[in-house]
Amino acid sequence: MRLVHRAEDLEAAMKGAAFEAGSAFADARIFIEKYLDKPHHVEFQVMGDMTGRVVHLGERECSVQRRHQKVVEESGSPFLTDDLRARMGETAVRAAKSCGYSNAGTVEFLVDGQRNFYFLEMNTRLQVEHPITEMRTGLDLVSLQLHVAAGQALPFRQEDVHWNGHALECRICAEDVENNYMPSTGTISLLRPAEGVGIREDRGVNEGGAVPVHYDPMISKLVAWAPTRTDAIQRMRRALMEYQILGVKTNIPLLLFVIEHPVFKDGDYTTHFLEEYFKLEHLSPGSAHARQASAILAALLRDRELSRLDGAAINEKQNRGWRQQRMDLMRGS
């Protein structure tokens, strides 16, 4: 992507973008679109079946991004009005119907500061952030995909879809935030995920597993649901504070910065949020070391507990042996 502020810079930007696209994708074609100064990235989950029925399952605000990659998502969007939400949902459904779409998909929009919205793209798949939609609607999107693929009609209509509460998702990645977000690889020696009411985690690795260099650094999707946005933010903060991992560095300190920031809490943040507000010095002094020390302490306590249990098991085994010997003696007498 190239941002062009002046007409005289257009030619060089087009050449640079075409060269990169040709090298990376073997396709040097480019397109030009309007630049929005204070954009919100808002997407709508749609689901269509082979009978032509298409419904939307609500929106997700995905404006907390780094290098155009989503970091934190939430549903519903704190920026949309009810009227705008309805119009965007209707537009998303019309877009999917216009091409006879069936399956799960996401229609993505940009919304400017005056709440004008613009079509961005459609992702014809299930996306990383779909759990927050599931948490609010109570629907299993993967199950719906299978039913639709089998030729079955969607078991509900648009008026049957209801949204409950608020949900957030934080993408926990194996990254070294303090070292320009370099991927952090290695073996996960300890993993203690957060738990509790309203907390969900979709994770691709486990304790003892390796984080290699060949794949995306995301290792977990941490989701928090609550009846209100304020409560959901509080639950997410607690979950991030409790999440313990050793062996690789993660972006948890960055995620805590985001959800604790007053602009994020206010709800009127844009895709420039991290660029405008985040600096390394904003991380709590020694926060990474404190989290690591806490994780190490948890590991030591776990090992001590395992040792205690092992000792109890040995004692129980010895006691069972002694009891058996006594019974044998009694039978002999």
- 49 in any annotated domain: yes
CATH number of residue 190's parent domain: 3.30.470.20
Judge whether 258 and 240 are in contact, CB under 8 Å. no
Considering the chain, what percentage of its residues have pLDDT values greater than 90?
Answer: 77
**Tens-digit pLDDT profile for residues 157-202:** 999 999 999 999 999 999 999 999 999 999 999 999 999 999 999 9
pLDDT score recorded for residue 285: 54
What's the pLDDT band for 306 if we cut at 50, 70, 90?
low
- 88 in any annotated domain: yes
Instruction: Record the pTM.
Output: 0.80
**Tens-digit pLDDT profile for residues 243-253:** 999 999 999 99
- 313 in any annotated domain: no
- Please provide the average confidence, as pLDDT, over all residues in the chain: 89
- 9 in any annotated domain: no
- 73 in any annotated domain: yes
Query: Which H or E run includes 311?
Result: helix 287-332
**Tens-digit pLDDT profile for residues 187-243:** 999 999 999 999 999 998 999 999 998 888 999 999 999 999 999 999 999 999 999
Considering the chain, what percentage of its residues have pLDDT values greater than 70?
Answer: 85
* Mean pLDDT (whole number) for 121-132: 96
CA dihedral 157→163→168→171, nearest 10 degrees, is: -10
pLDDT score recorded for residue 283: 76
Judge whether 21 and 81 are in contact, CB under 8 Å. no
**Tens-digit pLDDT profile for residues 24-40:** 999 999 989 888 889 99
- On the question of pLDDT at 284 being above 80, the answer is no
**Which is higher by pLDDT, 292 or 123?**
123
CA distance 293 to 194: 17
- 278 in any annotated domain: yes
- 308 in any annotated domain: no
CA distance 165 to 176: 33
CA distance 69 to 217: 12
Three-class DSSP category at 41: strand
DSSP code at position 34: P
* Mean pLDDT (whole number) for 138-146: 97
What are the φ and ψ backbone dihedral angles of 171, each rounded to 5 degrees? -90, 110
CA distance 30 to 270: 25
- On the question of pLDDT at 326 being above 60, the answer is no
125 flagged as catalytic: yes
- 114 in any annotated domain: yes
**Which is higher by pLDDT, 96 or 304?**
96
Bridge partners of 75, per DSSP, are: 167
Residues in the chain: 333
Candidates 94, 125, 302, 323; catalytic one: 125
- State how many domains the chain has: 1
Domain interval for residue 193: 41-291
